[in-house]
Chain A
């Protein structure tokens, strides 16, 4: 049962451009919406996260936009750099279920210099 659909699967962007990754979820009971960044052969690292009572959160070049009514949230990477080339995962969490995370399928981002 897929609860989180992530798109696109892959993305190529020029250096300095904007990378946009979208996630749609099916359940309204989620409490927390994190994004993780993963480099090849490494564990995912928490990048940025948002709670459902906030519509937008910005940390440096990374911004999460959250649309509760549409059950969607997105990650925007501004001024994309080659070092941002990685796979990005969105996730959703239910606190009442032991803080279980359910992940999207991932988006592989390639930033061309």
Chain B
């Protein structure tokens, strides 16, 4: 089954802790993306990567970090510097213009 996997579906953390969200794809796509979605709002781009070992900041990269050591994997770390980390995080991948999304991880920080 080809697709994008995000784990876990729900994640709870205490304020001040870093947390890493997983994103894996077996679609053989070169590009991968991380978005944040807040209730009732659209998606905002955090980071994206077009090839292995390279990534660029999106519109709201502050407080986040990523790595792209393998084509299939693009983990996102939400650091303690992110002021409002509670949100729904979505990973996507693409070859060309069409982006395909994973099921998302809902992160709650208290």
Contact = CB atoms under 8 A, between A and B. Distances in A.
Interface of A: 6, 31-32, 34, 36, 41-46, 49, 89, 93, 95, 98-106
Given A95-B97, A105-B42, A43 B48 contact: no
Contacts of A105: 41-42
A34 B98 contact: yes
A49 B31 CA distance: 19
Given A89-B42, A106-B42, A99 B94 contact: yes
Q: Is the interface of A mostly helix, strand, loop or mixed?
A: strand
Given A100-B45, A101-B45, A43 B99 contact: no
B101 A43 contact: yes
A42 B101 CA distance: 9
Contacts of B42: 6, 89, 103-106
B90 A44 contact: yes
Given A43-B104, A103-B42, 13 more contacts: A32-B97, A42-B103, A46-B100, A89-B42, A89-B43, A95-B97, A98-B56, A99-B50, A99-B94, A99-B96, A101-B43, A101-B99, A103-B43
Interface string B14-53: 0000000000000000010100000011111100101000
B102 A106 contact: no
A43 B96 contact: no
Contact of B48 (A34, A46, A98, A102): A98
User: Which of A41, A44, A49, A102 has the most CB atoms of chain B within a 10 A radius of its CB?
Assistant: A44
Contacts of B92: 43
Contact of A100 (B58, B90, B100, B102): B58
Contact of A99 (B4, B40, B99): B99
B89 to A, nearest CB: 10
Contacts of B40: 106
A31 B104 contact: no
The 7 closest A-B pairs by CB, nearest first: A43-B101, A103-B42, A32-B97, A103-B43, A105-B42, A43-B104, A44-B101
